[in-house]
Every structure is written in C-alpha cells, then in structure tokens.
Amino acid sequence: MRTIPQWLAERCVIYVGTNRVVVEIISLGLVFKFPIIRLIALYRSVLGFVRGTAFVPFSRWFSYPMESEGFLGFRRLVFKGVMDNWREYWFCLVERHSFAQPTYFSFFGLVNIQLRGEPLVMDQWEFRGQLQKFIEERVLYSDAHHFTSINNFCISDGKLRILDYGSRKTQNIIRERGMCVYQNFQVRVN
C-alpha cells in the first residue's frame, strides 16, 4: 500500500523559491503559489533588538522597503511573498501581457493559481545571450534576480514566458521589452 507522501510525490512537484513555495499539479496543468511568511526569522530579529545584540536600529528595521536587498526589515520578512503574489495577479488581470504566464486567481495573495509552464531547458549562457539581444544589458542587470535565472521562465504554447513577475521592476521591464522578447526569443528544446 502506498503512503500519503508517496501518493503526493506522484502527483505534485514542490519548488521552494525565495519568497514563495510553489506546488505544481501536473495533471491539472496548474501551480499553486503560497507565500513564505518568515515568522521565526521575525521572532529572532525582535529578540535581537530586545537583547541589544542586533546592529540595525529598530526604526530603520521597520522602515526598510519591501524591495530591499537581503532579508532586512519587518515588512519583507512577513509580507514580501504575499505582495509578490498579489502584484503578480493584479498585473496579469490589468495588463493581460502575452509574455507573462497567466495567473488565474489570487486569494488576497495568500494563494495564487497560475497556469503550469514547461521548464525551459537551455544553456544558461545561450539564454542570457538571446535575452540581451532584446533587452538592453543595463536594464537586464538592473533586475538580475529575475532576468538572469532560467528558472523564472517557462515554455507555454512554444513561446518563452516569464512566471515570476511580482516585482515592480520586473513588471516595468515586461511592459517595455516583454512583447519583443515574446515575439523573437527562439526556444530550443534540447
């Protein structure tokens, strides 16, 4: 008899991103994105301040923007995954951009349902080389976290699409250059 973990393993694949856990249900052709809410890190940070062992002043720690680099600040630890989910959904709803993998539903950012895409199998350097033909290098590397990782892209209907587009910076680049990439990027399946 199969155990519940075995049964689940046959039906879904789980990815752990920086801010979200993604459950891919292959038979449904969908993925479910859940935000990571770092309560333990939050607790440790608060404890650090209370004990006087943390270096960053409390006020700064509260005012760090959600987009700050590294895991700094209360808002980023708690809300970044929720906001990424919500912005991804809103961007899809309003823009309906062909380059963005469709997000069908969001429950206030606590869970998103997105169309599953096929993983992009391509040499990393070839991938970056092609992207640089359509997006100016300076712009591309201004959002290196999203645009230099092949894992943030997928193939859908034979076209390259971006599946991680919750950040404002990423959305601006999609607005400016997304259609050019969508129309011209050559997806080669090895």
Ligand X SMILES: Nc1ncnc2c1ncn2[C@@H]1O[C@H](COP(=O)(O)OP(=O)(O)OP(=O)(O)O)[C@@H](O)[C@H]1O
Nearer to Mg ion, 150 or 179 (CB): 150
Binding mask 133-162 for ligand X (x = CB under 6 A): ------------------xx-x--------
Binding mask 124-163 for Mg ion (x = CB under 5 A): ----------------------------x-----------
Binding site partner of 31, from Mg ion, ligand X, none, Cβ cut-off 5-8 A by kind: ligand X
**What's the Cα-to-Cα distance from 32 to each of 22, 29, 112, rounded to whole Å?**
6, 10, 6
Say how far residue 153 (Cα) sits from the centre of its chain: 10
Q: Rounded to an integer, what distance in angstroms lies between the CA atom of residue 85 and that of residue 187?
A: 27
Pairing mode, strands 30-35 and 20-25: antiparallel
88 is an interface residue for Mg ion by CB under 5 A:
no
Among 19, 45, 106, 171, binds ligand X (CB under 6 A): 19
Q: At closest approach, how far in Å is the CB of 151 from Mg ion?
A: 6
Three-class SS of residue 155? strand
Among 66, 73, 86, 117, binds ligand X (CB under 6 A): 117
Q: Rounded to an integer, what distance in angstroms lies between the CA atom of residue 156 and that of residue 123?
A: 18
Closest to 109 (Cα-Cα) out of 187, 51, 32: 32
Applying CB under 6 A, the span of 19-27, 51-59, 60-68, 129-137 interacting with ligand X comes to 19-27
Closest to 127 (Cα-Cα) out of 97, 164, 155: 155
Among 78, 164, 177, 187, binds Mg ion (CB under 5 A): 164
Q: Rounded to an integer, what distance in angstroms lies between the CA atom of residue 129 and that of residue 116?
A: 25
Q: At closest approach, how far in Å is the CB of 119 from Mg ion?
A: 12
**Can you read off the two tokens belonging to residue 177?**
């250059």
Three-class SS of residue 179? helix
| Contacting positions for ligand X (CB under 6 A) | 15, 17-20, 22, 24, 31, 84, 101, 114-117, 151-152, 154, 163-164
